[in-house]
Chain A
Amino acid sequence: MDATTAGIDLQWKPRRRHSRVGRLFDSKPFLVTLCMLPTAGLLLIFLTYPLGLGLWLSLTDTTIGQPGQYIGLENFYSLFDDPVFWGAVWYTIFYTAVATAGKFLLGLWLALLLNHHLPFKAFIRAIVLLPWIVPTVLSSIAWWWIYDPQFSIVSYILVNVLHLRAHYIDFLGSPWPARWSLIVANIWRGIPFVAITLLAGLQTISPSLYEAALLDGATGWQKFRRITVPLLMPILSVALTLSVLFTFSDFQLVYAITRGGPFNSTHLMATLAFQRAIPGSQLGEGAAIAVSMIPFLLVATLVCFFGVGRRKWQQGSDND
């Protein structure tokens, strides 16, 4: 008898200790706070606060090493009269529009090709993603070398192999060729992401729909237009939103290949903000350029998301 009661006593003591800590960890508010704390802390300090700080900096004349004074909208007024800034705004929009269109057209095509029954399908799918995996700056350096004025391999192919042109192309030396060269490099880098994302979307489409269309005598184009495209819309709108957002705020590719040159003709808003803020040490002005990206980003995101996603809502499917 004694032995058993002693045993029970022994059992109870650790349980009570366990339950004290355990009770604390079982209380939901405590546990939720504990779990959310690292994320909330990091994001608030290094994301939300800098976002507000950026707005404030854009209203000051801060330079590196010197805390600035509040100067109202002075930075924005001076940007408004700055042709380089407007050139950057214009090229950013152009770059985003053309590169996104290219990425999605070619990416959709590649996704449709990969959706066939192919030998080594998994392998092809894996290597096609490479441009997306490799650090952008490093692949951009490869593009820089491909665009070399004297030893460009593209020029070599066009001039010496295909004999299509008489002279080597000066890819990065004058404004328009430089602009197009950057767009091509961006499209090259963006195709894999779009293709693999859309491929995932294609694989969720039920084959029975195509069988039904086949029995109804639909042509290939009709099947593509009436089945593939509408069912691809939800995933397309998400991919489009992300793609537009990150193309608009691109920095690495342009900084690595042209650094905004020649004659500031290839500056994106992000590279211009960097140039003014860090090497130029005008933090206030740089922040103003970065802040003026926000309205564009908001409009672009909303247009992509709601403009493209709308069709699905009209069909009355669930929210998500």
Chain B
Amino acid sequence: MTDVAGTDALAITQEVELAASTKDAPEILSWDSRARRTITVYIPLAIFVIVLLFPFYWMAITSVKPDFEMYDYKQYNPFWVHSPTLDNIRKLLFETEYPHWLLTTMGIATAATFLSVGASVLAAYAIERLRFKGAQHAGLAIYLAYLVPPTILFIPLATLIFQFGLFDSPIALILTYPTFLIPFCTWLLIGYFKSIPYELEECALIDGASRLQILWRITLPLAVPGLISAGIFAFTLSWNEFIYALAFIQSTEKKTVPVAILTELVTGDVYQWGSLMAGSLLGSVPVAIIYSFFVEYYVSSMTGAVKE
């Protein structure tokens, strides 16, 4: 145990200890540790990445394969596409109502996001900054609301939606998505508001600003990163939502992408795998794009929200 280099002790497993020792250790040891590191870190990590990403690769490659290639593994290597075609995508875009479903989903997700983030900002501000009596309990109640899974709510909600005359209307989804979006966003924003110094608001109060002015001019601009991550989360979650959209929407043209692919594109006993995969891929693209732009916000707020 000659190594007291220590800086590399950030990492946990034993082999890193050896890796750290390479700084002082002779050549053989350094080779040994590199080999060890390859076996214990790089190879497992590569396997993880391949397994986690393979379904997406498979999805992508299937969506550009012509039918004769897709069902003939003997002549064509299934891992590669020999004569790529846009036929599946063309069929999807021009022979089904896919563009319409995309637009519907986008509209519903955007509306639900704005509604939820707006409501959550006010609630989080009231709970964290106005410090009214019972604010703690209100926060806890909202957190508990997050723990109620949609699968035990959709049946009574369906009857409720029917009574309101909202059945088969996008408004039904816009109003019900906040039940799982608001708890999450509120909790995330409470964390963000906590990180903004209270003194800033006190200064504004002394300068004669009203409470609403403080919220609008001081707190919100400072909480923009939090608002962005709450917005991305809300958008992705509503884009991914399935059971409410499946239960409350009936007519073909009003369906959201996940529901429509499963109920409209899956017909009969012979599945059009090419179109199905193209539809899944295109349906994932919007969230993937948003995610790739804001990945740093995403990761930090996700871990932050869990830590709360």
Which residues of A does B touch, CB under 8 Å? 22, 25-26, 28-29, 31-32, 34-36, 38-40, 42-43, 46-47, 49-51, 53-54, 57, 62, 106, 109-110, 112-118, 124-131, 133-139, 141-143, 145-146, 148, 150-151, 153, 156, 160, 188, 191-192, 196-197, 199-200, 202, 207, 210-211, 214-215, 217, 219-221, 223-224, 228, 235, 238-239, 242, 245-246, 248-252, 255-256, 270, 273-274, 277-278, 283, 286-287, 290-291, 293-294, 297, 301
Shortest Cβ-Cβ A-B pairs, 6 listed:
A220-B14, A200-B303, A249-B149, A35-B126, A270-B151, A38-B119
With the chains together, A132 CA to B59 CA distance in Å?
A: 16
**A294 to chain B: which residues have CB within 8 Å?**
152
Complex interface: stretch among B89-97, B173-181, B194-202, B223-231: B173-181
B142-A145 in contact (CB<8A) = no
**B279 to chain A: which residues have CB within 8 Å?**
138
With the chains together, A50 CA to B161 CA distance in Å?
A: 10
**A137 to chain B: which residues have CB within 8 Å?**
240, 242, 258-259, 261-262
**B242 to chain A: which residues have CB within 8 Å?**
135-137, 251-252, 255
With the chains together, A71 CA to B132 CA distance in Å?
A: 44
Which residue of chain A lies nearest to B236 when distances are taken between CB atoms in the complex?
A133
B123 at the interface (CB under 8 A from A): yes
Tell which of B156, B186, B291 touches A50, judged by Cβ atoms closer than 8 Å: B156
Which residues of B does A touch, CB under 8 Å? 1, 4, 6-17, 41, 44-45, 48-49, 51-53, 55-56, 58-59, 62, 70-71, 73, 78, 115, 118-120, 122-123, 125-126, 130, 132, 138, 142, 145, 147-160, 175-176, 178-179, 182-183, 186, 210-212, 236, 239-240, 242-243, 246-247, 257-259, 261-262, 273, 276-277, 279-281, 283-284, 287-288, 291-292, 295, 298-299, 302-303, 306-307
Which residue of chain A lies nearest to B121 when distances are taken between CB atoms in the complex?
A35
Tell which of A138, A196, A283 touches B303, judged by Cβ atoms closer than 8 Å: A196
With the chains together, A146 CA to B17 CA distance in Å?
A: 41
Which residue of chain B lies nearest to A212 when distances are taken between CB atoms in the complex?
B9
Known: A54-B156, A141-B276. A235 touches B12 (CB 8 A): no
A110-B211 in contact (CB<8A) = no
**B302 to chain A: which residues have CB within 8 Å?**
196-197
Which residue of chain B lies nearest to A30 when distances are taken between CB atoms in the complex?
B211
Known: A38-B123, A57-B159. A138 touches B71 (CB 8 A): no
B52-A191 in contact (CB<8A) = yes
Told that A126-B299, A220-B14, A273-B151 touch, could you supply 5 new A-B pairs with CB distance under 8 A?
A128-B49, A136-B242, A138-B258, A139-B56, A274-B247
B277-A142 in contact (CB<8A) = yes
A51-B118 in contact (CB<8A) = no
A283-B159 in contact (CB<8A) = yes
Per DSSP, are chain A's interface residues mostly helix, strand or loop, or mixed? Answer: helix
Which residue of chain B lies nearest to A137 when distances are taken between CB atoms in the complex?
B258
B306-A224 in contact (CB<8A) = no
**A207 to chain B: which residues have CB within 8 Å?**
6-7, 9-10
**B156 to chain A: which residues have CB within 8 Å?**
50-51, 53-54, 57, 287
Tell which of B1, B41, B298 touches A113, judged by Cβ atoms closer than 8 Å: B41
A251-B210 in contact (CB<8A) = no
Chain A: minimal CB distance from B230 (Å): 13
B138-A221 in contact (CB<8A) = no
A214-B17 in contact (CB<8A) = yes
With the chains together, A145 CA to B59 CA distance in Å?
A: 9
A214-B9 in contact (CB<8A) = yes
**A235 to chain B: which residues have CB within 8 Å?**
306-307
B70-A151 in contact (CB<8A) = yes
**A54 to chain B: which residues have CB within 8 Å?**
152-153, 155-156
**A248 to chain B: which residues have CB within 8 Å?**
149
With the chains together, A131 CA to B1 CA distance in Å?
A: 41
Chain A: minimal CB distance from B26 (Å): 20
A217-B1 in contact (CB<8A) = yes
With the chains together, A22 CA to B284 CA distance in Å?
A: 47
**A214 to chain B: which residues have CB within 8 Å?**
1, 4, 6, 9, 17
**A46 to chain B: which residues have CB within 8 Å?**
157, 160, 175-176, 178-179
With the chains together, A106 CA to B44 CA distance in Å?
A: 11
With the chains together, A67 CA to B80 CA distance in Å?
A: 56
**B262 to chain A: which residues have CB within 8 Å?**
137, 141, 255-256
Tell which of A22, A134, A146, A191 touches B288, judged by Cβ atoms closer than 8 Å: A134
**A151 to chain B: which residues have CB within 8 Å?**
70-71, 73, 78, 273
Pairs A–B under 8 Å by Cβ, sample size 30: A35-B122, A43-B145, A46-B175, A113-B45, A115-B10, A124-B45, A126-B292, A128-B48, A133-B291, A135-B287, A142-B55, A142-B280, A143-B55, A145-B59, A146-B55, A150-B71, A151-B70, A156-B78, A188-B51, A188-B55, A214-B9, A220-B17, A223-B14, A242-B306, A246-B149, A252-B243, A270-B151, A270-B152, A274-B246, A290-B152
Known: A128-B48, A196-B299. A35 touches B125 (CB 8 A): yes
A145-B148 in contact (CB<8A) = no
